[in-house]
Amino acid sequence: MANIFSFCVFIVLSSLCFSKAQHVKVYELKRGYFSAKFTNYGATMLSVILPDKTGKLDDVVLGYDLVNDYKNDTTYFGAIVGRVANRIGGAKFILNGVTYKTDANDGKNTLHGGSKGFSDVLWTVKSYKKHSHVTFSYESFDGEEGFPGNLSVSVTYMLLHKNKLAVKMMAKPLNKPTPVNLALHTYWNLGGHNSGDIMSHTLKLFGSKITPVDSELIPTGEIVPVRKTPYDFRRPREIGSKFDQLPHGYDINYVLHKSRRSRHLRKVAVVVESKCGRKMELWTNMPGVQFYTSNMLKNEKGKNGTVYGKHAGFCLETQGFPDAVNHPNFPSQIVKPRGIYKHFMVYRFTAH
């Protein structure tokens, strides 16, 4: 009987997994020449196609040809990462006197929510209109990857006008306080995903301080100015212009300037690729942004047979500060029941 029962359970679970696989789909948003594609696997951004200054269309997002390839990647291409993005030192934190141990998937630390974070689950499509938006939702359970409480999460991607893309991430704890820090892990290359490295892109970043990290990329708890360091992008300069001082590239959280007007989003960055003329501007309501120059990419086979090498793309991941759960001087990421986590991003794309 036990063997028959085990066999029946196996068949049921297998059919459920197969059923879920059948529901992984791609959703396109399109207005004029501006289009983007997303999948409900990881609520992932698959592509963004934009014209350059001559009208030539290119996909400016790194990724894979097949959705199935996103299930086995270690790059987090275009994914929504969480429940807590970035790193948690020692894969543990204390909340209301209780020690929570999270999944250690980056040495002894937790990265992007654990081995099976939000980037590796199937989201539900709640709403979709091709010329407007797509909304994905996910119900995270109590104890998932070690985090406390049930959490209802949603992500909406919206096209605004003919050149703006907005992202709205929301989360509501249902029964326990919990840390929440979602991030969109898109790798951008404004010259086109297959155009080589991003060293000559010009970046202006609206942050005058960073949160330094140790050898395991865990914040030390300090907040230090970027002045007279290779991290200073307060004035526009090429991303690769000071790589002689940072041979491994950038992977650091910037403390963003506050908006001068209350309730207005903070300006995050302006990035320009001079050859094609494309410009990307970004705004958010989050206090930080992780600037990452794809230092860990190595011979990653991507779209149309393109092999992505080191520095093939850049990430600007708006976020709360990394490891904030273990640094009381960082802005808190704890959300209580009846509270709502709200994270907004707005991209504007132009070409001149």
Residues serving a catalytic function are 185, 317
Distance CA 156, CA 15 (A): 29
Paired sense of beta strands 178-179 and 334-335, if any: antiparallel
Distance CA 35, CA 50 (A): 7
Ligand-binding site membership of 251 (annotated): yes
Ligand-binding site membership of 306 (annotated): no
Ligand-binding site membership of 31 (annotated): no
Structure tokens at 246: 């940072």
Ligand-binding site membership of 75 (annotated): no
Ligand-binding site membership of 142 (annotated): no
Ligand-binding site membership of 83 (annotated): no
DSSP H helices in 56-191: none
- Euclidean distance between the first and final Cα of the chain, in Å? 72
Element (H, E) at 3: helix 2-22
Collapsing DSSP to helix, strand or coil, 27 comes out as strand
Structure tokens at 153: 């999460």
Distance CA 1, CA 4 (A): 5
Residues 6+ away with beta carbon under 8 Å from 260 = none
Structure tokens at 18: 């197969």
Chain centre to alpha carbon of residue 164: 18
Annotated binding site for beta-D-galactose: 86-87, 185-187, 251
Annotated binding site: 86-87, 185-187, 251
